[in-house]
Amino acid sequence: MKSIHDQNLKDLALAVIKTEAEAVSDLASRIDDEFVRACHLMLNCKGRVVVTGMGKSGHIAGKIAATLASTGTPAFYVHPGEASHGDLGMITQQDVVLALSNSGETGEVLTILPIIKRIDVPFIAMTGSPESSLATFATVHLNVAVKQEACPLGLAPTSSTTAALVMGDALAVSLLEAKGFTRDDFALSHPGGSLGKRLLLLVSDIMHSGKEVPSITENALVTGALLEMTEKKLGMTAVVDKEKQVVGVFTDGDLRRMLEKDLDIHNTTVSEVMTPSCKVIKTDILAAEAMKIMQQKKINALLVVDQENELVGALNMHDLVRAGIV
């Protein structure tokens, strides 16, 4: 094994970063009318964007397809080798094909061009060679040529794949903006992710309801409130009037303050020591908003009410943690 010093390793890494950064920077001059034409083809697509590529370009193509799909442009990846053995049936006249090949001469991609031409599907080529077969065939060509690969041998796809990836991101984000794709739209395609949960989960989805909600009347004794808190295990209880409207909350903190005053829990009504006019929330607000309220108010739980201020639920920080909001 070749001996190498630590500083040499750092220098090599920095050289890679510099080379790839220059490759990305050079793409700015390629955001031209051809890029705009490619965007319009995708915007006007009534089907899906079919992305294809072989080898390392195939890996980048798969990522571009995933990014397009998650940002409002329906897309999927087709392996060009499989395409000529049946998977071409996935492509319809309503689609747009986006093919990646640094050389523009990838045999597996060239093989499917006659079929693409026969069904008259718009074809976008992303290559590093404007004079290549793919570029010449394409409806639109996106030039992602790089001056050099970051690999010192000039062989491993490095700068070229980075440039193609960034151009794919440029397409996806431009289409996102053009379509008016929103955070809510993003959440709908990412329901399992943290962001999706923050943008989709409502208080009503995770709150305690029914018999799980701690509640006691305002004329009850503190001993009754403690029993309710112990049974429901939320560290607090709602205090309600005879119409079940919330008039306050009794918490562990209220209990400590009461004991400091040396009040008798057996002879003190909860209304005397509760926190009146407590913060409440509605069922239809986002759980993430409830978390923000708790953080701002420095509290660990909230009571949930309906439009008439009637108690319908309770929510604490542990519920938000379990739901993946925190």
Q: What is the pLDDT at residue 1? A: 60
Sorting pLDDT into bands at 50, 70 and 90, what band is 31? very high
pLDDT over threshold 90, residue 24: yes
CA atoms of 14 and 29, how far apart (whole Å): 24
| Contact in structure between 157 and 145 (CB atoms under 8 Å) | no
Same domain membership, residue 175 and residue 145: yes
CATH number, domain of 146, equals 3.40.50.10490
More confident residue, 201 or 111: 111
Q: Is residue 63 part of a domain?
A: yes
Same domain membership, residue 302 and residue 233: yes
Q: What is the pLDDT at residue 311? A: 92
Mean pLDDT of 135-147: 95
Same domain membership, residue 52 and residue 138: yes
Q: Is residue 194 part of a domain?
A: no
Same domain membership, residue 228 and residue 302: yes
pLDDT over threshold 90, residue 254: no
Q: What is the pLDDT at residue 151? A: 82
Q: Is residue 119 part of a domain?
A: yes
Residue-wise pLDDT for 289-305, tens only, equals 888 888 888 888 889 99
Same domain membership, residue 234 and residue 169: no
pLDDT over threshold 90, residue 250: yes
- Please count the structural domains in the chain: 2
Greatest mean pLDDT among 131-135, 252-256, 286-290 lies in: 131-135
Same domain membership, residue 239 and residue 142: no
Same domain membership, residue 217 and residue 162: no
CA atoms of 219 and 22, how far apart (whole Å): 74
More confident residue, 187 or 317: 317
CA atoms of 39 and 309, how far apart (whole Å): 50
Same domain membership, residue 138 and residue 38: yes
| Contact in structure between 131 and 124 (CB atoms under 8 Å) | no
Q: What is the pLDDT at residue 124? A: 97
Percent of the chain with pLDDT over 70: 92
Residue-wise pLDDT for 63-96, tens only, equals 999 999 888 899 999 998 887 766 777 888 999 9
Domain final residue pick, 149, 181, 213: 181
Q: What is the pLDDT at residue 82? A: 84
Q: What is the pLDDT at residue 179? A: 85
Query: Which domain, by its residues, includes 250?
Result: 203-322
The region of weakest confidence among 23-32, 158-167, 227-236 is 227-236
Same domain membership, residue 93 and residue 29: yes
Q: Is residue 198 part of a domain?
A: no
pLDDT over threshold 80, residue 284: yes
Same domain membership, residue 40 and residue 90: yes
Q: Is residue 110 part of a domain?
A: yes
φ, ψ at 122 (rounded to 5°):
-55, 135
Residue-wise pLDDT for 231-245, tens only, equals 998 889 999 998 888
Same domain membership, residue 86 and residue 221: no
Same domain membership, residue 158 and residue 207: no
Full strand arrangement of the beta sheet holding 123-127? 75-78, 49-53, 96-101, 123-127, 140-143
Q: What is the pTM of this model?
A: 0.65
pLDDT over threshold 80, residue 138: yes
Q: Is residue 193 part of a domain?
A: no
More confident residue, 84 or 132: 132
Sorting pLDDT into bands at 50, 70 and 90, what band is 204? confident
Q: Quote the DSSP letter at residue 158.
A: S
Mean pLDDT of 240-261: 89
Q: Is residue 269 part of a domain?
A: yes
pLDDT over threshold 90, residue 259: no
Q: What is the pLDDT at residue 278? A: 87
CATH number, domain of 313, equals 3.10.580.10
Q: Which residues contact 248 (CB under 8 A, 6 or more apart)?
A: 218, 238, 239, 271, 274, 275, 276, 277, 278
